[in-house]
Amino acid sequence: MTRATESLTPELYEYLVAHSAPVDAVLTELAEETARRFPDSLMMQIGPEQGTFMTLLARLMGARDAVEVGTFTGYSSICLARGLPADGTLLACDISEEWTSVARRYWERAGIASKVTLKLAPARDTLRSLPADPMFDLAFIDADKEGYVGYWDELVPRIRPGGALLVDNTFSHGRVIDPSITESAVQGIRDFNDHALADSRVELVMLPIGDGLTLARKLA
């Protein structure tokens, strides 16, 4: 037993992945193609253990309608959509035709394309254009860090009571606790973390998955 989360060595991380549900060929090949085509942006793709966690969470919740802000090449959207039922829906928000053209191909290969609606536009505009009433069971935010507070404020009212929000990169690679780092992306995460913690509409926990994953539950 331990009262604190232990740090993961590379060897322990490999053990963790090896003892989680195996990643199938579609996600493996998507990760490999993303690494080849977009090596400078590879860190934007979630890891296999986070993807499996998201699929399981969606299934455990019985989520039907989901939304993600930041699609990149489609790894996270496949994981989310796989956790939804056959008639489930996923609204995917991104601004890059180049990145999402890869996602579209792999959505087809994964057999989840019929669940996904892609909106290529600034995500905050897309969210603001939606009805203001609760309409989603699950949301995932993984886009520009300066925009996190704005995405959160648009999404929380649109999450059904008992629904959940997942927010990625809330550790900012450990930089959130270094006051000497003042770049806008890091400050955006700090601002978001404080903003979400103070939001009385949710209860939340910050998990040491990937680069920090905040899980929030919408209260009634």
| pTM for the structure as a whole | 0.96
Closest CA to 89 of 107, 113, 110: 113
Contact 219, 201 (CB under 8 A): yes
Sheet-wide strand order for 116-120 = 116-120, 89-94, 65-69, 136-141, 159-168, 213-218, 202-207
Report the 3 state secondary structure along 159-188. EEEEEEEEEECCCHHHHHHCCCCCCHHHHH
Using pLDDT thresholds of 50, 70 and 90, give the confidence band for residue 7: confident
Tokens 């180049």 belong to which residue?
98
- Write out pLDDT tens, residues 86-117: 999 999 999 999 999 999 999 999 999 999 99
